[in-house]
Structure 1
């Protein structure tokens, strides 16, 4: 297998693990009869931070571990990723996200059957706004992803002991979740939202309801904008 294919596969596996653990904590908190039901936002924020940490460790063995199309596009524009890998990375990330969401469904299958709240089921897979205001929601996702990408670029410019930079990435995700996640659920990653939303659409869940495609464009477009803005700002630092 070529070096490029190894990196592409790493993005696929890493994003799958990211969504398995990240949407997994959402399932644990949202679904009926889960032992973690109603354990709250702090659990979700910590769960996602640890999901990113573990997924980056796994994918980082043989690749940059972007696990996020917004990061991939930003890094290509910044110059640390060759442009020929952008589309393959994004496809791998999206497919990995779909796989991760399917695995969450399998892991919590009896709990999906026991849950009739359509919002709780969709919230296990994809993000949604606390107050539906598209301009405000867009700005929130831009800001969150701006902080994410600027942080990643800053980490790359600093020195860490081997392997410890991943903990900084996890801390960054935790900070974004706790501080900026309230309005929209902090997608900050097009694959993280779109892949599981596709899984929600295709999986045979009798109580699932609508996949909210009217909102689905926002957590795809806004993170890309936020990432590009971060690259622009970082170029002056």
Structure 2
């Protein structure tokens, strides 16, 4: 595939990523609506569900904050990584105009906005070698409200899974309505700072209907989801039973 065709494919991937919501998430929102008793919470969930419907119908972003773009690329060993990178950058610039995307690439030093979502380390491109004979590109936009609620914590050696649960609950309470709940919590455990944060991001790529293959971790996912929804933060931070619709942990 030549670079121009590759750009077009990536643009459509970006469009789909910002204008559609996975079936598991849509189902979870509808189930949450059935469980809610609070009228304000119901109103918020109904608005979200309708907003998703309209966004998918009109092929427009679900949220005005289309976030920072992350690309996870699984690349055959013989593939030209620089060519893929050029196509991703070109597609990002064009998608900013065509989809459209909100320009979110701001220089960390000068505060200047590039206007096209391309800047220093933006978009972020993670490359993983692959034995496949094709290139696999995952587009992962993450809005500022969610990203700004990210937390990295170092737990004392010997602390168990209960301390992980406690840390997550404190982080959720601190974030409050900032990340526009209900949220999906991606949690990475172990491996040092960089690895833990990447594990957390990778966890978000797993459907919320799938539990971790380790039964102990799967139990922790269920326990955290239950405890988070007892906080009463609720949809958009306005109170209710649904603060999170999923918890995915990678170790």
Fold match by TM threshold 0.5 = no
Give the structure with the higher percent strand. Answer: 2
Give the structure with the higher percent helix. Answer: 1
Bigger radius of gyration among the two: 2
Q: Whose relative contact order is higher, 1 or 2, with alpha carbons under 8 Å and at least 6 apart?
A: 1
TM-score, normalization: structure 2? 0.28
